[in-house]
Amino acid sequence: MKVRIALTAVTAFLSLAALAPAALADAEPVDPAPGGPQRPHEPDVDGTRNIDSLTVTAAKGQGRSVTVDFDRRSRAETGQIPAGARRFVFLFDRSVSFNPGAFPICARSVVEKDGVNACPKGSHVGSGRGEFPTGEPQEVFAVNTKIGKLPGVLVVIPGNGVILEQTLERVSRPYSKDYTWALDEILPPNDTPPEQRAGTTRFQLSFGATRRHQGRTIGFAETTAKPGEKLKFGLWTDFVTGQTILPTDTPRLS
């Protein structure tokens, strides 16, 4: 009897072990940066599931500087307009670090009052482009800033008057196996009902500014990796429907 019970227990354990990978694969990815600023709560809404893809390039520059280009494409599973996002969390390979303290800071109030071109020289740390289901592509600027006491980036889209805040944060487990730093971007609630907020069909954002600081060339982003090595990047997204996804890419450092 004891032998039979033991065999039954072993069989059950092995069955659960076999199911575990499938269950994990089906589970939506958890928040990689839960310790930063919190977005005001909004209940999930009904809507289409989004299918996202991510392409990243990483190019080494002077010194340890690196230019990282994120290129995200999004479409609705049903062929409709993609659901809007609540947060984007850009995840950077463990070899990548940041030097926000070496670059001038541009306050949000400056951008709100006089535009992104009024920011101090050297505070521009990135650029990009956003494409929407309707309308022309919009130019995107990224400037070094502080969000409260945290280092961060303002993502500015002058064409539609949008200013979004990214905070630089360390990732949580289990993400720390592949990444160290994240830029956590919150899209705050607005007057448009969540189910009517259209998502971008393509969003490109690049970080790669350099400047001379204390006698050497400093990159806003730097890497200890060597050319030819594979790096891992990801873009975790939380949508108004409650769906979360994490497309990744592993480019070689060029």
- Taking the CA atoms of 74, 137, 86 and 173 in sequence, report the sign of the dihedral they define: positive
- Taking the CA atoms of 198, 199, 204 and 209 in sequence, report the sign of the dihedral they define: positive
User: For residue 78, how many other CB atoms are within 10 A of its CB?
Assistant: 12
147 phi, psi to nearest 5 deg? -110, 100
Report residue 67's pLDDT band, with 50, 70 and 90 as the boundaries.
very high
Q: Is 27 a residue whose pLDDT tops 80?
A: no
| Cα–Cα distance measured from residue 183 to residue 235, given in angstroms and rounded to the nearest whole number | 10
Q: Which residue has the higher pLDDT, 8 or 248?
A: 248
* Total number of residues shown for the chain: 254
β-strand partners of 117: none
Tell me the one-letter amino acid at 88.
F
pLDDT of residue 169: 97
β-strand partners of 223: 96
DSSP secondary structure of 46-81: --PPEEEEEEEEEEE-STTBEEEEEEEEEEETTSSP
β-strand partners of 67: 59
15 Cβ contact partners less than 8 Å away, ≥ 6 residues apart: none
Over residues 132-190, the pLDDT tens digits come to 887 789 999 999 999 999 999 999 999 989 999 999 999 999 999 999 999 999 999 99
pLDDT of residue 120: 97
Residue where the block lists tokens 């340890």? 64
Report residue 122's pLDDT band, with 50, 70 and 90 as the boundaries.
very high
| Cα–Cα distance measured from residue 49 to residue 40, given in angstroms and rounded to the nearest whole number | 22
For the range 15-21, what are the long-range contacts, defined as Cβ-Cβ under 8 Å and sequence gap of 24 or more? none
User: Is this structure's pTM higher than 0.85?
Assistant: yes
3-class DSSP state for residue 175?
helix
Over residues 69-114, the pLDDT tens digits come to 999 999 999 888 899 999 999 999 999 999 999 999 999 999 999 9
Over residues 188-238, the pLDDT tens digits come to 999 999 999 888 999 999 999 999 888 889 999 999 999 999 999 999 999
DSSP secondary structure of 106-121: --HHHHHHH-GGGSPT
